[in-house]
Amino acid sequence: MCLARGMLMDPRSQGWTVDVDPSLPEVSPLLLVVKRPEDGWPVIDEYDLNKRLKAIRDSVDLEELRAEPAVQAYRDFYWKLGIDPTKKRPAGEALARRVLQGKPMPKINPIVDIYNLISAETRIAIGGYNLATLTSYCPDKVLRLCPATKGEHFLGIGMSDPVLLKGNQVVFMAGKLPFAIFPYRDGYQTKINGDDKAVLFALEDVPGLPDGLLERTADLLLTSLGIDPSTYL
Distance CA(29)–CA(9), nearest Å, equals: 15
Give the predicted TM-score (pTM) of the model: 0.92
pLDDT tens-digit series, residues 97-124: 999 999 999 999 999 999 999 999 999 9
Domain annotation covers residue 180? yes
pLDDT tens-digit series, residues 49-92: 999 999 999 999 999 999 999 999 999 999 988 889 999 899 99
Domain annotation covers residue 161? yes
> Could you tell me the strand order of the sheet in which 142-147 lies?
17-20, 142-147, 170-174, 177-182, 185-186
Tell me what the pLDDT averaged over the chain comes to.
92
Domain annotation covers residue 1? no
Domain annotation covers residue 87? yes
Domain annotation covers residue 103? yes
Domain annotation covers residue 232? no
Domain annotation covers residue 32? yes
- Structural domains of the chain, count: 1
- CATH number, domain containing residue 86: 3.50.40.10
pLDDT tens-digit series, residues 144-196: 999 999 999 999 999 999 999 988 889 999 999 999 998 889 999 999 999 99
**Whole domain around residue 101: which residue ranges?**
11-224
Report the Cα 139 to chain-centroid distance in Å.
21
For strand 170-174 and strand 142-147, is the pairing parallel, antiparallel, or unpaired?
Answer: antiparallel
Domain annotation covers residue 5? no
